[in-house]
Amino acid sequence: MSVCRMSVHRERIRKACKSWRLYTMILPAVLTVFIFHYIPIYGVQIAFKDFRNSLGIWGSPWVGFMYFNKFLSYPMFWAIIRNTITISLYSIATFPCSVIFALMLNELENGAFKRTVQMVTYAPHFVSTVVVASMIILFLNRESGVINNVIALLGGERKDFMGMPGAFSTIYVWSGVWQNLGWGTIIYIAALSSISPEIIEAAKIDGASRMQIVVRINLPSIFPTVITMLILSTGHVLSVGFEKTYLLQNSLNISASRVISTYVYEVGLINTQYSYSSAIGLFNNVVNILFIMIVNTLSRRLTQVGLW
């Protein structure tokens, strides 16, 4: 048995040496992930300590789950969780937009027009979050915003949309759809391009309409990719983006815009409560991992498609 294992190991080493150029190419990516994602795990322990700069991580006293209990007993805990989950689930509900748009793009036969549409829809993804937030604030301005000007022109009443807590999640989510719709279609376009043209031609010969081809051939072909991307998106249920939320936040909508990421910023960087903010961040990550495990398990049982 040991002789067989040794021969297998030798064969693996021989193949690795033969493909050393490929391993050299992925080395920078591996080092980047290791340095910026694995080494920082060492600092997670401050979530269980009363961290003090003068004592360092090792010298700070252990306090166990004190900061986790502090967060769970925080009077605004459920409001923060509610806001975070509301925005996250709202964002996940718009997940089919990229799939539908990719199917629509795939049906375009005019190559020049298709490339133009792709370029126009990809462009917003490369716009800075700060610029996007500024555009949103300008467009929704009560006095001079484009949206309010149109409402007033139609005889409606001007509204301070950025000061309405109930409108915050809608503004956040649909501005994100506009910004990332085109970019989100890339992986689905790639999956659709792998479908054999012969299958589509055979369906046309059999009398299938374009809609039937989309429903019966295109959509089932990219279904595993769609499920995989959906599972990955559920891993961010409690990870609403900090930058955009913070930039759109003001004193009037803070009851709906205060989420976990902005609260971590408040207690961690503004109030310098490093252990407390680390505990909140760790709590956030653990919940996200549980969500992705649950969704992956359900997906494996219902559709036989999953990450593992």
pLDDT tens for residues 75-128?
A: 999 999 999 889 988 988 898 999 999 999 888 887 788 888 888 998 899 988
Residue 177, domain CATH = 1.10.3720.10
- How much of the chain exceeds pLDDT 90, in percent? 22
The last residue of one of the domains, among 11, 39, 64, is: 64
pLDDT at 152 over 70: yes
Distance between CA 229 and CA 223 in Å, rounded?
Answer: 10
Mention every residue, 6+ apart, whose C-beta is less than 8 A from residue 258.
Answer: 76, 79, 80, 83, 249
User: Model pTM greater than 0.75?
Assistant: yes
Residue that finishes a domain, picked among 14, 35, 64: 64
The 3-state DSSP class for residue 64 equals coil
3-state secondary structure of 6: helix
In this structure, the answer to whether residues 287 and 191 fall within a common structural domain is: yes
Asked if 17 and 91 sit in the same domain, the reply is no
**Same domain assignment for residues 282 and 203:** yes
User: Do 57 and 79 fall within a single domain?
Assistant: no
Q: Which residue has the tokens 């199917």?
A: 103
Please check whether residues 115 and 22 belong to one and the same domain: no
User: Measured between alpha carbons, how far is 5 from 163 in angstroms, rounded to an integer?
Assistant: 67
Q: Are 98 and 58 found together in one domain?
A: no
Question: Tell me, what's the pLDDT at 5?
Answer: 65
Residues 158 and 216 in one domain: yes
Looking at the structure, do residues 22 and 151 belong to the same domain, yes or no?
no
Closest CA to 107 of 5, 206, 186, 192: 192
- Neighbouring C-alpha atoms within 13 Å toward the C-beta of 189: 18
Average pLDDT over residues 156-164: 90
**161-186 pLDDT, tens per residue?**
998 999 999 999 999 999 988 888 88
Do 232 and 296 lie in a common domain?
A: yes
Of the pLDDT bands very low, low, confident and very high (cuts 50, 70, 90), residue 150 is very high
Residues 31 and 115 in one domain: no
How confident is the model over 198-232, as pLDDT tens digits? 888 888 888 888 888 888 888 888 888 888 888 88
Q: Which residue has the higher pLDDT, 288 or 261?
A: 261
- Closest to 80 measured CA to CA, from 275, 268, 262, 265: 262
Question: Do 42 and 85 fall within a single domain?
Answer: no
The residue segments making up the domain with residue 159 are 75-303
Q: How far apart are the first and last CA of the chain?
A: 29
The count of other CB atoms within 10 Å of the CB of residue 9 is 10
- Quote the Cα angle for 283-289-291, to 5°: 105
Q: Kindly state the DSSP code that residue 240 receives in the 8-state scheme.
A: -
Of 49-58, 202-211, 291-300, least confident by mean pLDDT is 291-300
Both tokens assigned to 132: 């996007």
Domains of the chain: total: 2
Q: Say whether both 210 and 287 belong to one domain.
A: yes
Phi, psi of 157, rounded to the nearest 5 degrees: -100, 135
